[in-house]
C-alpha cells in the first residue's frame, strides 16, 4: 500500500506596472527752487526843518551834506541789491532749466542687472491605483478520490485574489489581467514533481453582468492531456478585464481557483511544496 502524501503550495504575488531679464532700477531726481524775498527798507533822512544841534550852522551844513551823501549811498546799495536779486532769479531759472533738460536726456548709468526667476513644477501624483491583494500566502492540497486507475489526485483552493481599481482616471484602451505560474514541487530529500502535473479551474467571485471581467480557462495537467494539458508551467490566466475603464466603476473584483495535482500512483512519498506566483498586469489594447 502507498503512503499518503500531503503536498503544499506556497502562494506569492507581485504587481507589474502596470525650465529673466529685468530692467535696471530707475532713479528720479527732483530739484526744488526756493523763492527769494527782498524786504523793502524805508530810510528816513534829516531835512531842513529838523531841530539843530547846539553846534549851529556848522552842524546843520554837515547834516545836510551828510544826508545827501547818505541818499546817494542808499541808492547805490539798492541798485546793488536789485542786481543781486535779478542774478539770483536768473540762477534759479538756470537750475530749473538744467533740471528739466537733465530729466529729458537721462542716460543709463552702468550696466543693467539681470535677475533669474526659477520655479520647479513637479509632476502631480496620480490619484488612486490599480492594486492586487491575496487573502493568504499559503494553501494545502489534500488527497481526494482517484480520477483513474494508477493516478492519485490532491485538491485545494487558491486563496481569493482581489483586484482593486480606485484610480480617478484610467488611460484609454488598457485592460488588466492576473496570471499564475507554479514552480516544481520538491521535498527536502530532493524528490520533485514538475509544475505540469498541477492544474487549476479559475472562478470569478464578483458578478459581471455586462461581462466587464472574465475568468480564465481551465488548465489541465499533463496526465489529462489535450490542448490545455500543460499545467501551470507558464503564465496562465486567472481573470481578465476586457477594458479597465469598464471595470473601474465596480471598484474591486475577486476570483479564486480550484487547484488539483495529479500524479502517477508510483509517486515517491514525502512532504512536497511549491511556489505559485500571481501577477497583476495592465496592457494597452
Give 1-50 pLDDT, tens digit per residue.
Answer: 333 445 555 555 554 445 333 333 322 223 333 333 333 333 333 333 44
Instruction: Please check the confidence at residue 182 and state whether its pLDDT lies above 60.
Output: yes
Q: Which residue blocks in the chain are alpha helix, DSSP H?
A: 57-104, 244-247
Residues 6+ away with beta carbon under 8 Å from 110: 24
Strand partners, 283: 175
Overall size of the chain counted in residues:
285
CA pair distance 200, 64, nearest whole angstrom: 147
What pLDDT does residue 96 have? 43
pLDDT for 63-88, tens place per residue? Answer: 344 444 444 554 455 454 454 444 44
Please say whether the beta carbons of 36 and 85 come within 8 A: yes
Q: How many CB atoms lie within 10 A of CB 165?
A: 22
Q: Which residue has the higher pLDDT, 30 or 167?
A: 167
Question: Is the pLDDT reported for residue 97 higher than 60?
Answer: no
- Split at pLDDT 50, 70, 90, the class of 104 is low
Q: With the CA atoms of 119, 125, 127 and 129 taken in that order, what torsion angle do they form, in degrees rounded to the nearest 10?
A: 170
Question: Which pLDDT score, from 0 to 100, does residue 261 have?
Answer: 98
Of residues 53 and 204, which shows the higher confidence score?
Answer: 204
Question: Tell me, what's the pLDDT at 39?
Answer: 35
Q: Supply the pLDDT for residue 192.
A: 98
**185 C-beta neighbours (distance < 10 Å), count:** 27
pLDDT tens-place string over residues 222-274: 999 999 999 999 999 999 999 999 999 999 999 999 999 999 999 999 999 99
Rg (CA), the chain: 56
Check residue 10 and give its pLDDT.
57
Look-up of cell digits 486563496: 159
pLDDT band for position 285 (50/70/90)?
A: confident
What's the mean per-residue pLDDT of the chain?
Answer: 76
Structure confidence at residue 14 (pLDDT): 53
The Cα 82–Cα 36 span in angstroms is 12
* pLDDT at site 278: 98
pLDDT for the residue numbered 49: 41
Amino acid at each position: 500500500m502507498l503512503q499518503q502524501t500531503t503536498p503544499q503550495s506556497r502562494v506569492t504575488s507581485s504587481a507589474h506596472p502596470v525650465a529673466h531679464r529685468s530692467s535696471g532700477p530707475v532713479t528720479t531726481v527732483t530739484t526744488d527752487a526756493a523763492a527769494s524775498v527782498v524786504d523793502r527798507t524805508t530810510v528816513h533822512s534829516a531835512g531842513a526843518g529838523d531841530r539843530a544841534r547846539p553846534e549851529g550852522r556848522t552842524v546843520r551844513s554837515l547834516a545836510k551834506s551828510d544826508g545827501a551823501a547818505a541818499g546817494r549811498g542808499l541808492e547805490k546799495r539798492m541798485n546793488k541789491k536789485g542786481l543781486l536779486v535779478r542774478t539770483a532769479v536768473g540762477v534759479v531759472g538756470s537750475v530749473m532749466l538744467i533740471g528739466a533738460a537733465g530729466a529729458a536726456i537721462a542716460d543709463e548709468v552702468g550696466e543693467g542687472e539681470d535677475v533669474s526667476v526659477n520655479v520647479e513644477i513637479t509632476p502631480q501624483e496620480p490619484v488612486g491605483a490599480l492594486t492586487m491583494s491575496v487573502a493568504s500566502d499559503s494553501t494545502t492540497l489534500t488527497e481526494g478520490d482517484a480520477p483513474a486507475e494508477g493516478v492519485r489526485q490532491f485538491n485545494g483552493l487558491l486563496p481569493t485574489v482581489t483586484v482593486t481599481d480606485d484610480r480617478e482616471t484610467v488611460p484609454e484602451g488598457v485592460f488588466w489581467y492576473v496570471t499564475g505560474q507554479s514552480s516544481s514541487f520538491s521535498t527536502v530529500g530532493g524528490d520533485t514533481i514538475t509544475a505540469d502535473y498541477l492544474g487549476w479551474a479559475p472562478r470569478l467571485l464578483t458578478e459581471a453582468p455586462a461581462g466587464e471581467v472574465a475568468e480564465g480557462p481551465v488548465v489541465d495537467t499533463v496526465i489529462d492531456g489535450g490542448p490545455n494539458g500543460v499545467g501551470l508551467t507558464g503564465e496562465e490566466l486567472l481573470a481578465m478585464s476586457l477594458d479597465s475603464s469598464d471595470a473601474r466603476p465596480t471598484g474591486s473584483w475577486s476570483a479564486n481557483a480550484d487547484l488539483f495535482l495529479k500524479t502517477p500512483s508510483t509517486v515517491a512519498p514525502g512532504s512536497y511544496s511549491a511556489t505559485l506566483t500571481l501577477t497583476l498586469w495592465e496592457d494597452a489594447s
